[in-house]
């Protein structure tokens, strides 16, 4: 694709589950780039990408809700220690598209980009960031 820029941003988890704010790293890379759309893709099946409220309590509530819907020790057909993480990833998704204006992410005042970890700690999650004009 003509006029495409790409990078990979890494996010390290320090807990089994949780929300990790990647907004600043993504915004810093996008700053000054020309293009109108930023596509983010997370190539993992036990983590997800979401846009959520920047308040820590909202992320903790959503993480708790996901844990209630998909408990770690649930009765899954796919019996592995991370079956719940696979389900969370499917429900939350692995890609986002954000409009850009003059290298600035056009997020709402309270919006942030989070990696939703489902199978930590100690995982390095890669966000593939692509800007197109």
Q: Indicate the SS3 state at residue 89.
A: helix
Residue 82, domain CATH? 2.60.120.460
- Please count the CA atoms within 13 angstroms of the CA of 99 that sit on its side-chain side: 4
At 122, the pLDDT band (50, 70, 90 cuts) reads: very high
The predicted pLDDT at position 133 comes to 81
Range of the structural domain that residue 51 is part of = 4-132
| Average of per-residue pLDDT values in the chain | 96
**Per-residue pLDDT reduced to its tens digit, 41-84:** 999 999 999 999 999 999 999 999 999 999 999 999 988 999 99
Number of domains in the chain: 1
Q: Indicate the SS3 state at residue 29.
A: helix
């Amino acid at each position: 694709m003509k006029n495409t820029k790409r990078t990979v941003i890494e996010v390290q988890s320090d807990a089994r589950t949780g929300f990790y704010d990647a907004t600043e790293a993504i915004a810093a890379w996008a700053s000054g780039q020309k293009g109108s759309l930023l596509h983010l893709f997370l190539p993992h099946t036990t983590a997800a990408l979401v846009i959520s409220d920047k308040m820590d309590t909202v992320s903790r509530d959503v993480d708790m809700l996901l844990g209630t819907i998909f408990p770690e020790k649930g009765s899954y057909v796919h019996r592995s220690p991370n079956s719940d993480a696979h389900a969370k990833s499917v429900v939350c998704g692995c890609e986002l598209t954000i409009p850009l204006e003059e290298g600035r992410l056009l997020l709402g005042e309270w919006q942030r980009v989070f990696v939703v970890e489902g199978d930590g700690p100690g995982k390095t999650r890669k966000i593939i960031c692509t800007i197109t004009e």
